[in-house]
Structure 1
Amino acid sequence: MRTPSEWARAEFGFEADARQREVLDTEARRVLLCCSRQWGKSTVTALRALHFAEHHPGSTTLCVTPTQRQSGLFLEKVQRYVKGPVVRDAREAASVKLANGSSIIGLPGQEGTIRGFDDVGFLILDEAALIQDCVYTATRPMRVLSDGLLWMISTPHGQSGFFHVAWHDEEGGWTRFKVSAAECERFRPEVLAVERVALGERMYAQEYLCEFLPSDLQMIPAQLVEGAVTDDEEPLDEAAL
C-alpha cells in the first residue's frame, strides 16, 4: 500500500518536503505537531484527513479549530483535493462526505455545542494552543470507542493550556514533531530576517522558532514553578500544625 505522502504525490501532485513526509507518513496514533507559522500544517493535515477517510469507509474525521472561520478554511483545503462534486454531511454544514460514506467535519471550539459525536476515527485539534481546555476535555472522549487517531497541531502560544502541558508531558504517550522555520526550505533567509526585525526577538521565537514563551500576563515562567515542585519531601502533617 502507498504511504500517505506517496498517495498525495500520485493523486494530486503534492510534493511534500522531508519533514512533511515524516508527519504525513507517521503511524503513531497520538501526534503532537509544533511548527512554525506558514509551514503548511493545515494542508498536510487536510491531506492526511482525506487519506484516512478514503481508506476507512464509513469513518468520521473531526477537525476542531478555535473559530468557525478556521473550520471553514480547513474544509476548503480538503475540498481542493476531493474529486467530483462536493457533498455535505447532514450533521454539519462545514463538512465533506465521500462516496464511501466517510465524513470530514469541521467544528469551532465551543464546548457547549461541540458534544454529540461518537466513534470518531480521527480527531484533529488545529491551532490547539488557542483552543480552550474545556473543548479538549469534551472532544477527546469522542474517539475512545474507536481508539481513533488524535492529532494536535499548533504554533506555541504561551506556557499554559493543554497543548503546552501535553508537549512537556514525557509520559503522555505522544509522538512529537517540531519544525521551526529554519528547517523549512521554502522560507528564504532574507524574508525571515525581515520578519525577525519586524516582530522582535520574542515574538519571532514564538511564531517561527516554536518556543513556548511566558505571556505578557504571566509573572512567573512555567519552568520556575515546575522546578520548585518536588516529590522528595514528606507531606506536611496537618494534625501537627
Structure 2
Amino acid sequence: MNIAADFRRALDPVSIFREGVRDADGEHVAPAPWQCDVMRSQARRQLILCSRQSGKSTTIGAKAAGGLVYAPGLYLVISPTLRQSRLLFAKTVGVYKRLGDVPAIRSESANELILANGSHLVALPGDNDATIRGFSAPKAVLIDEASRVSDALYAAVRPMLAASPNGQLIALTTPYGMRGWFWEQWTGGKGWETTKITAADCPHITEEFLAEEREGMSEWQFRAEYDCEFTDTNESFFASELIDAAIKPEMEIW
C-alpha cells in the first residue's frame, strides 16, 4: 500500500477527485473551486443546484467513492428512474476503480457494489417510495435530479437516516419549476448547506454553446437548465406569483 497516497486522500478528499476523475480523452481533470468545497464538505444536509453539464454528478460520484474507502457503510443512489440512478452509480464505480490501494471488490452488478471493507453502494429507482423502505442507517443518500423526485420518496428517505447520526443526505439537480420538496427546502428549508453553480460559473461551457442552446429551447427552459432559476413552465395555467397573491393565509379553511 502507498501510505503517502492513502494519507493524502484521507487528509484531503479532493485528492480522490484529482486521482479518479478523467475527461473523455482519459486525462486528469482539475476540480473547480466549488467542486473542492463540495468534496470537503462534511455537512449532513446538502442541496446542490447546478447547471447542466456543470460536473455535479462527477463531483458527487468522486465524493461517494471516497466515502466507500474512508467511511465504510451503505451508500444509496436514488434518481427518478433506475436508468438515471445507474448513471451516477457508474460514475462512482468508475472513480473508485481508478484509485490505487483500495479495498477489493467482492461483488459487482449494474445496481450494486460490495467491497471487502463492508461498503455497499446501491442504485435505486425513485419512482416508488416502497422500493427504498427496506434500507436503514446509510452513510449517505445521494438523490440525483432531485427536483424531479417525488415528495413521497423524499419523505421516505429522511427517516432511514435516524439511525445514522452522521449520515449525509445530498440532493443535486437542475431546477424544475416552483414546486416540490427541493424547491421548498431551497427557498425556505432549515439546516441545509446550499451550493448554486450556473453555466456562467463553468469555464468549460462556452458563450457560443450557450447561444446555440438559447436558440434551441424556450426561455424558461434555458433559464432553468443553465441559469438555475426556478421558473414557471408552460405547463402552468397560472403563474406561481398569481397563485400566491390569491391566497390569504388568514382565511379560515372550512
**Aligned-partner Cα distance in 1 for 2:220–2:252:** 40
Is 1:133 aligned to 2:156, yes or no? Answer: no
- Letter of the structure 1 residue corresponding to residue 54 of structure 2: W
Residue number in structure 2 paired with 1:88 = 107
Residue number in structure 1 paired with 2:36 = 21
**Aligned-partner Cα distance in 2 for 1:186–1:237:** 52
**Aligned-partner Cα distance in 2 for 1:213–1:48:** 30
Native 8 Å contact 1:79 1:86 kept in 2: no
Match of 1:103 among 94, 116, 120: 120
TM-score (norm 2): 0.83
**Aligned-partner Cα distance in 2 for 1:165–1:197:** 30
Classify 1:224/1:21 alpha carbon distance in 2 versus 1 (closer, same or farther; 3 Å): farther
String of CA shifts for 1:200-223, please: whole Å, max 9, x gaps: 322110110001111223233334
**How far 1:154 moved relative to its partner?**
0.4
Residue number in structure 2 paired with 1:162 = 181
Matched pairs, number: 232
Classify 1:199/1:140 alpha carbon distance in 2 versus 1 (closer, same or farther; 3 Å): same
Match of 2:206 among 158, 163, 188: 188
Residue number in structure 2 paired with 1:145 = 163
Residue number in structure 1 paired with 2:7 = none
**How far 1:3 moved relative to its partner?**
2.0
Residue number in structure 2 paired with 1:35 = 50
Native 8 Å contact 1:88 1:94 kept in 2: no
**How far 1:159 moved relative to its partner?**
1.2
TM-score (norm 1): 0.87
String of CA shifts for 1:147-197, please: whole Å, max 9, x gaps: 21111110001111111111111x511111010000001111111111111
Q: Secondary structure at the match of 2:96?
A: coil
Q: Greater shift after overlay, 186-195 or 75-84?
A: 75-84
Q: How well do the aligned residues superpose, as a CA RMSD in angstroms?
A: 2.3
Residue number in structure 2 paired with 1:6 = 15
Match of 1:44 among 39, 47, 59: 59
Classify 1:52/1:141 alpha carbon distance in 2 versus 1 (closer, same or farther; 3 Å): same
Q: Greater shift after overlay, 1-10 or 114-123?
A: 1-10
